[in-house]
Structures are given as C-alpha cells and as structure tokens.
Chains A and B, each alone.
Chain A
C-alpha cells in the first residue's frame, strides 16, 4: 500500500491560489485567521458564491483578495458601510468583513459603532495586531499607552490610551461579541461560525501578532515568541460581562464569547416597514 501525499490544503477551494505567496511577513497572524474564516465557512456548509468578503485598507485589508468569491477592497475604514450597502440591497448574501484594528476602530470607528447600533446582519472579524503594519508600524487605536512605534519612538512612547474593542462593540449594541487570540484556532473558528450564523451584528476580535513592527519595536520577540505569549496570557472566560474583558498585552488577554443576545435585525426591520406600506 502506498500512502498518497496530501498535495492540497483542505481550504484551498476557497482561496485564489494564483495569488500566492501572500504578502504577509513571517510570523504574522493574518494567514492563521484567514484560515479560520475559511474553515468557519466550510463548517457551516455555506454556498460560497453567496458569501461576500469585504476589507478596508492595511495588511488585514488584503484578506478579501485571497478569497475566491465576490470580494471587495474598499477605501480605508469603509469596509463596514460597503458591507451594509451589499447586505441591505441583497439580504440573501452572507457578508463578512475582515479588516484590521486601525481600519475598523480608528478611521472606520464611527461606522463600527453605528453598524452595531443598527444591528445589521454582518460579521466583522477584526484582526487586532495593536499597530498600523502596512505603513510601517505607527501607533493605532489599540496600541497601549507608552508602547513604542514609528510615531511614538523611544524614549517617548504612545501618548494615547487604547480602545478595548470588545467593550466598544458591546456597548454600541452588537448582538454577538467575542475575542480570541490567533493561537486558539478551534475556539476562534467556532466563534466566527456562530457570528456568521447569528442574525445580527457580530464582532469577533482576533488578537494577532505583528512581529515586524509591534514586536520588533517593543522587544516582544519574533512571531513564534509572540504567539507563545498569547497562549500564556490568554484567559478564557466565556460569558464574562464585556466591561470586564481585560486586555493588557503583558499580563492578561481575556478571551471568550461575551455577548450573544437577540435583537431586531436591521434588514428584517426594513422588510417589515415595506410590508406595512403595502397594507
């Protein structure tokens, strides 16, 4: 009996293999999270042609382009409103936004909170690597106070304080909110699945490593070191009130599913309004 070698990754069917190798640096978490999204889609058995993947700008902003379905690379920060237009104009489509913390929480922060408030049925996977990677490592909306970056160099450090994205999404009205690190592949994939299946706005923060910029400038080691660190500081506390979901890079990153509630979904509300007019 001869053993046939596995020549193809099982998620290849979802990926534009003619675009490999990807642009990501060694040690980056974005590829891992991309695989989680693909596996979540696979586990749910979705008709992939009805899945739309949208990104903004940045390293994570390139994610949409690697999926072999209808994909769109919008302007910086605007992945969510693009996704809203798609979902409202055709509610049959499964719309997933994959973008970075700078894109979603800084330049696009206003759209995030208002999409949460509207409770529109899209799933946002926000890869939080605590830094602007694509532009070479400047502090962003999730960079901790005092951390070093190209725009907060030694010995100055970051003058700003970070958003806690779980708290932001939960307090803005998202109906499903979770946080995992890139090392918790099965649990995170499970949450992405739940987020996609949820009829409402789902926000999944994926804490990732940027060894090239954040790791290097803050002496956090290489990609492997950073991922090992995630395993060490990740504390799983499913169901914890979101305001207690601490994120302190050195000490504790609380992971889990914090919000899973039912509320009227926006496109369903619009449909009801149209029916009201027909009566």
Chain B
C-alpha cells in the first residue's frame, strides 16, 4: 500500500499514529483541546477492530487503559492538564505495575481551568513529579503534525520496550495546527511489542527483571498466574514492607529508564556547530526559534538551537555538552520556566536566560530574535 497523505491537525495525526502503532484500546473523556483525538478514535478504532470507550471521568479512563494493556492490547488515553491531574494516581500504579500505555496530553493554559482553547507548556513537570514517590516516565515533545504521528508511534514503542507510561506532551498549537501528514505503510514502520513471559508457569516470577531491568510480562488470561499490585512487591509480585525490596524495586523502576536514556532521548541540533548562543526549545516555541535563528545568522550572530524532542528522561548530558560549546543559553518555553530549571541544573556555570511566557501566544520569531540580539550585546 502506498503512503497515505492527509492535510490534518496534530490531534488527528496523533490518533492515526496510535492506530498505525497497533493501538487497539482507547479509553477517554472529552476535554479541550484533546477532544479531537477521542472523536477521531470513536470512528477509526472500531474500523480497525479495536475498542473506543468514553468513560465517566479521566480516572476511569486511565485505569481502564491499564486493565486493557494487561490483556495484551496496546492501549492509550488522551487528555489535557486537568485530566492529567486526575490521572496521576493511576500513572503511579502504571509505573509500579510496569504497564505499557501511552497518554497524549494536549497542553492548555493553566493553572486550574485556565484557558482551555489556548496553548501552553505548563505541564512539563507534571508527569515526572505529579504522582507520589520516586519514579521515571518518558515524555516526548512533538513540534509538527508529522511529529505528532511519528512520536506517537515512538511513544508506543518505548512504552512497550520499557514497560512504562509514555507521555506525548504537545502544546495546543501543535495539537490544533493543520499541516501535511504522510502516513507510511505499516510494513515500513518499526513496531515493538512487550517481552512476554516464557517457560514453565510453575517457575514464573512476574516481576523478576532480565538484564535490561525489564521483566517479561504475563498477560491476563494466559497460562501464567500472577498478582500485580501498587504495593511494594517482590519478584513474585507479593506485597512486602522489607526495606531491601523497596530499595531494589524503586532503583530498578528508575534505572530501567535512566540507564537507557541515550537510547530514548531524541534531539535536533539546528545550526549549532559554530554557535555562541544556543536556544533550547521544544514544541511550538521551537518553530519560532528556528526562524529567529535564521534572522540572527543573517545579522551575523552565531546562534543555533537544541530542540528537545524528549523532555523525560531529561537530556542532562546533551545540555552539559551544549554548555561547554556556547557562551549563552536561552530557554524559550511557553510557561513560567520549567525546562529552564533542568537546563540550569545541567549547564552550570554557563549563563542561562529564560524567555518565559505562560500564555496562549507562543514567543514570536522577532521576540526570540530580539532576545538573541540582547544576549549577543552582553
């Protein structure tokens, strides 16, 4: 089959990416500006033989996604900040029980109900720190309609590979912009699926990791019986209050992501090779930054951009390397400063300048260019 070409919005591209990745269960609840994903899935999911379910709230949605995933179905939900707030307890359960799932968050203005129809990047810290306890998740930050498709596919692959919830964190502008989308034939996509339990069911230990720190997964209804719980559990899955088990489990849940950070993190270096001023951006502000950097180059200023396509795990090493290459780093993000603090922690002592804008209109190209000029004149 040839590639399919659509002129469509980011939300729909994400839904199509999920379907191409093999997602066959969507549980959701309507919320602006993510609703188009549910609306698209309501028709497309049954077309491909999967299930679309509209639940009574976001808590039921995400919990049902966990349940569906344990039957072996690639499963997802989509929501926005207020919905993620409700889902965070279940995200912790998914982390603890090592459940593959994808959550698309189309970020809108906050705090609280905020500006539902305006974009923002206020939810960058939320998935990483919002559920209680110490854990790692993966979060991807697309900046175009095509990337909404591509990175949703990638989100499923990473979630299956590491048995961890993966967030697609897109600001509303990316979710609602319309661009050309090329959907490749499924045989051209590299799709991954969780490692499944093998061997004698009598000897099976459902939470005993392999060398890659990820345990093979037993599915509900298979010949393997198991108990999965949000309580701290040993290799058998049995609850325990032993300190050594807690220490080993928490370390493993974190390290299975951190030790593979270089395989997970995806970055774009734009005009950085001789740059003296680097812009760090992701999502919509990175589109403005690209134009601003071209303008700066025309004005003879050596500017470049490190575009983050992954924010969790945070690319600390890449930022540290960047800090040794350039004289100044500007962080442009559509919030009051979130990735900024991570950059600051990774790049010291290089000066870091924040361009914060916690409002619907992203930093415009000329605004970023003005900032580059200001930094250049220091």
The answer to whether A binds B is yes
Contact B66 A19 (CB under 8 A): no
Contact A73 B229 (CB under 8 A): yes
Contact B51 A70 (CB under 8 A): no
Write the chain B residue with the least CB distance to A55: B229
Q: Which residues of B contact A92 (CB under 8 A)?
A: 221
Task: Tell me, yes or no, whether B56 is within 8 Å of chain A by CB.
Answer: yes
Q: Say how far B239's CB is from chain A's closest CB, in angstroms.
A: 7
Task: Tell me, yes or no, whether B127 is within 8 Å of chain A by CB.
Answer: no
Tell me, in angstroms, the Cα distance from A232 to B220 when the chains sit together: 41
User: Contacts A50-B221, A88-B51; is A19 near B238 (CB within 8 Å)?
Assistant: yes
Tell me, in angstroms, the Cα distance from A123 to B357 when the chains sit together: 50
The contact string, 1 if C-beta is below 8 Å from chain B, for chain A 46-85, is 0001101010000000001100111111110010111111
Tell me, in angstroms, the Cα distance from A83 to B63 when the chains sit together: 9
Q: Say how far B72's CB is from chain A's closest CB, in angstroms.
A: 8
Contact A274 B49 (CB under 8 A): yes
Task: Tell me, yes or no, whether B73 is within 8 Å of chain A by CB.
Answer: yes
Write the chain B residue with the least CB distance to A113: B56
State which of B92, B225, B239 has its C-beta within 8 Å of the C-beta of A70: B225
Q: Which residues of A contact B229 (CB under 8 A)?
A: 65, 72-73
Task: Tell me, yes or no, whether B227 is within 8 Å of chain A by CB.
Answer: yes
Task: Tell me, yes or no, whether A6 is within 8 Å of chain B by CB.
Answer: no
The contact string, 1 if C-beta is below 8 Å from chain B, for chain A 80-97, is 111111101110110000
Contact A84 B67 (CB under 8 A): yes
Tell me, in angstroms, the Cα distance from A80 to B63 when the chains sit together: 9
Contact B53 A88 (CB under 8 A): yes
Tell me, in angstroms, the Cα distance from A256 to B72 when the chains sit together: 38
Q: Which residues of B contact A114 (CB under 8 A)?
A: 55-56, 60
Q: Which residues of B contact A134 (CB under 8 A)?
A: none
Contact B227 A82 (CB under 8 A): no
The contact string, 1 if C-beta is below 8 Å from chain A, for chain B 68-83, is 1111110100000000
Contact A81 B59 (CB under 8 A): yes
Contact B24 A89 (CB under 8 A): yes
User: Contacts A50-B221, A78-B60, A110-B57; is A85 near B65 (CB within 8 Å)?
Assistant: yes
Tell me, in angstroms, the Cα distance from A52 to B67 when the chains sit together: 11
Task: Tell me, yes or no, whether B46 is within 8 Å of chain A by CB.
Answer: yes
Write the chain A residue with the least CB distance to B206: A70
Q: Which residues of B contact A19 (CB under 8 A)?
A: 238
Q: Which of under 10, 10 to 19, 20 to 34, or 35 or more describes the interface residues of A?
A: 35 or more
Contact B221 A82 (CB under 8 A): no
In chain A, positions 13-54 with a C-beta closer than 8 Å to chain B are 16, 19, 49-50, 52, 54
Q: Which residues of B contact A75 (CB under 8 A)?
A: 63, 89-90, 92-93, 230
Contact B56 A69 (CB under 8 A): no
Q: Which residues of A contact B231 (CB under 8 A)?
A: 73
State which of A83, A84, A277 has its C-beta within 8 Å of the C-beta of B53: A84
Tell me, in angstroms, the Cα distance from A82 to B64 when the chains sit together: 4
Tell me, in angstroms, the Cα distance from A72 to B67 when the chains sit together: 9
Tell me, in angstroms, the Cα distance from A242 to B66 when the chains sit together: 34
Q: Which residues of B contact A49 (CB under 8 A)?
A: 221-223, 225
Q: Which residues of B contact A111 (CB under 8 A)?
A: 56, 59-60
Tell me, in angstroms, the Cα distance from A73 to B56 when the chains sit together: 21
Contact B239 A65 (CB under 8 A): yes
Task: Tell me, yes or no, whether A7 is within 8 Å of chain B by CB.
Answer: no
Task: Tell me, yes or no, whether B135 is within 8 Å of chain A by CB.
Answer: no
Residues of A within 8 A of B (CB): 16, 19, 49-50, 52, 54, 64-65, 68-75, 78, 80-86, 88-90, 92-93, 110-111, 114, 270, 273-274, 277
* A–B Cβ pairs within 8 angstroms, 19 of them: A19-B238, A54-B67, A69-B225, A71-B226, A72-B67, A72-B228, A81-B55, A85-B65, A85-B75, A86-B220, A88-B68, A89-B67, A110-B56, A111-B59, A114-B56, A114-B60, A274-B46, A274-B49, A277-B47
Extra inter-chain contacts (17) besides given A85-B71, A89-B24, CB under 8 Å: A49-B223, A50-B221, A70-B225, A72-B70, A73-B229, A80-B60, A81-B27, A81-B67, A82-B63, A84-B55, A89-B25, A93-B221, A111-B59, A270-B53, A273-B46, A274-B49, A277-B43
